[in-house]
Structure 1
């Protein structure tokens, strides 16, 4: 496992207030083409940009408030959303004779952990773009209050990824968190309290990434690199599955051969991790994803036992609670009050918390793996998505997260703006049954996002 990154207790995490700056926005907009190319994003397909431009015109005229709900399959999504709002929507507006006031922009929620690994400069830029940091594993009242106020009264729409985190799958939607629907109903209440009559609209946006190449060589090279990293046993497992490192002489056998290599690779990684955690071997009859589920549960339990947390909820929910418990040990507001010995013990506690959080990070890497995702559609993109999950997990275990895998891009990006959901029409049902209305609205949003990536 990687070494503990935290060597001493840190001052408490402060809230980074949104502080929109037009000149920082202008600089980021100017740098956007270079940033997109640096991530291999070379072609953009947009459907529904005209309707989104119309919605922005309506919002700018004071007739509606917009809540943009975007899919979150990749860490490049913020750049893609910037391309959509800063460039595609204004272009669509000009084509259709719509007058939009500059800038076309949205404020957004982002994970408070991003500046911890990306640096203080990232936190500063996100703040200057109007970002609102939220700690995901707890009821972050200040972040929610700030987002709620800006949604109802701020100068821009609000953008939220309802999946809560990247899931690394272009054609598979993770469970949606109910917070977005709740935020929409709060906005209806706040507008009514202020005597305002704007519509409150949720705009679902699907994002997907597709390789621009049909060359399977990059997939095979990534398979080979992972096989090398996992060691000789992979070749043994591959051989038992009728898979070897070289491609078969008959090209018609290549797809089956490649899939067997993927299965063998996954089996080997799982076997190594089971050995690390000393999990009992259930033999060859044990289902792979039953074993994976057991591994995730065990890794999470190691952390939960340390922080005295109960194992309830989904894998992602458990991960967020563990993260918050670890942060409570690492980032403290009482450091100035501690004696020298107490401070040393606080440092020790912070290191222990960071190590325990590492077990959660391991489980998190495998949180979105699906048993039939590649088998039901063995495309280059699905192979690439699953292999990149495995690559990131292996790189994290090795402490080499900065190491780049064999390139699978460049990428074509598809952005689909779905039909908006009028929340005001559902506010009466919310007053009668708040929980039920939030659940129904979340379900409807899920259906529209699934249609957008279908």
Structure 2
């Protein structure tokens, strides 16, 4: 494996520099990301009340801008955060900047011992405030919460157990954070423009002005193209869209695992299987016994799988907001144009809803008696809280 791909990037928090960045974060986010933060005063008070304690923030992960939003939250409540961020983000000066404001890396798809050790060390320090995205990756959907991974809770309990050996069991909070984006102006022109560009690229002549019908035509063309690319023989036309999407994802993940000689890990979520594949693709070619072209093809397939992981037919139809339209269009842009970060379509409010903090101290005795059951229970509870608050805010 290459030096870069296996490297751990530790936090190098510079409080003075971070405070300076926080002081200019609002105008900078507005200018660079077309973002502003929206959080209710009662939610700010909720966080202020426990700010002297250990806190792990657990936000959903709908976009690639979520780290910026959590930094804005740190500025709003006047706290210094640490952040766990995917290792591939630590490139060049951006990586150095991330380390300086308290971020550190994690290699997804492998047991990253260095990152785990760093996390346990941080969580044992007084008044640590750590951000972990428990979905393990970006859903690319404004109203969808993917299954939480239990690692954040497991590590928090392990740190608490270590602390309890030296002192009485302290307060230690897990905070569910529901993060949702809202456009601040009408987005019809942006939807029309994005649809027109996709239609022109795919050589589709629009036969209607109805946005939803045009979206479905574009999406179906992309789905058909992918099916023809990956499937041999006659396609099953009796399947509905969701069945076709699932069949395609299963084929793609099986194809990658077979090429790399992996035993299919059917019990694991697709995202976990993809991260394992991507970690292997960082290995030297001679260790993989594949060509460079094959590695590039497999990596692009994994990117495609992550892009379409949370998608389902009906996401836009069940609640046709501008946000859901543009979620889906951005996903299609990533596929058609082979880009990671489609241009932002308009100014947005990043709306944060803080759920009731969960004090692990209240569950510590139960945890000692049945660790797995308590971790699983709290993991499900926190995921449901984030989804409930997200769903409620969709209809506010």
The normalised TM-score by structure 2 is 0.91
Q: 1:289 aligns with which of 230, 238, 242?
A: 242
Contact 2:29 2:36 in 1 (8 A): no
Q: Distance in 1 between matches of 2:107 and 2:288?
A: 22
Where structure 2 has 5 or more consecutive residues not aligned to the other structure, the ranges are none
| Residues 1:385 and 2:327 aligned together | yes
Partner of 2:264: 311
DSSP 3-state at the match of 2:243 = helix
Q: Give the drift of 1:350.
A: 5.7
| Residues 1:83 and 2:72 aligned together | yes
Structure 2 CA distance for partners of 1:412 and 1:11, relative to 1, 3 Å: closer
* RMSD across aligned positions (CA): 2.3
Partner of 2:131: 159
| Residues 1:208 and 2:175 aligned together | no
Q: Distance in 2 between matches of 1:349 and 1:27?
A: 47
| Residues 1:229 and 2:192 aligned together | no
Partner of 2:214: 261
Contact 1:176 1:442 in 2 (8 A): yes
Partner of 2:284: 329
Contact 2:37 2:73 in 1 (8 A): no
Partner of 2:366: 429
Partner of 2:151: 179
User: What are the within-5 Å matches in structure 2 for residues 9-88 of structure 1?
Assistant: 13-32=6-25, 33-42=27-36, 44-46=38-40, 48-56=43-51, 59=52, 64-87=53-76
Structure 2 CA distance for partners of 1:215 and 1:134, relative to 1, 3 Å: closer
Structure of greater Rg: 1
Residues 21-69 of structure 1, C-alpha deviation per residue, up to 9 Å, x if partnerless? 123313422442213332111462435111101111xx2xxxx321111
Q: Distance in 1 between matches of 2:176 and 2:288?
A: 45
Q: 1:448 aligns with which of 376, 380, 385?
A: 385
Partner of 1:131: 103
Q: Distance in 2 between matches of 1:348 and 1:215?
A: 46
Q: Distance in 2 between matches of 1:319 and 1:83?
A: 30
Number of residue pairs aligned between Structure 1 and Structure 2: 387
The normalised TM-score by structure 1 is 0.80
Q: Give the drift of 1:191.
A: 1.4
User: What are the within-5 Å matches in structure 2 for residues 237-276 of structure 1?
Assistant: 244-247=206-209, 257-276=210-229
Q: Give the drift of 1:442.
A: 0.2
Structure 2 CA distance for partners of 1:185 and 1:9, relative to 1, 3 Å: closer
Q: Give the drift of 1:197.
A: 3.1
Q: Give the drift of 1:154.
A: 5.6
Residues 320-343 of structure 1, C-alpha deviation per residue, up to 9 Å, x if partnerless? 11011112336xxxxxxxxxxx7x
Contact 1:132 1:147 in 2 (8 A): no
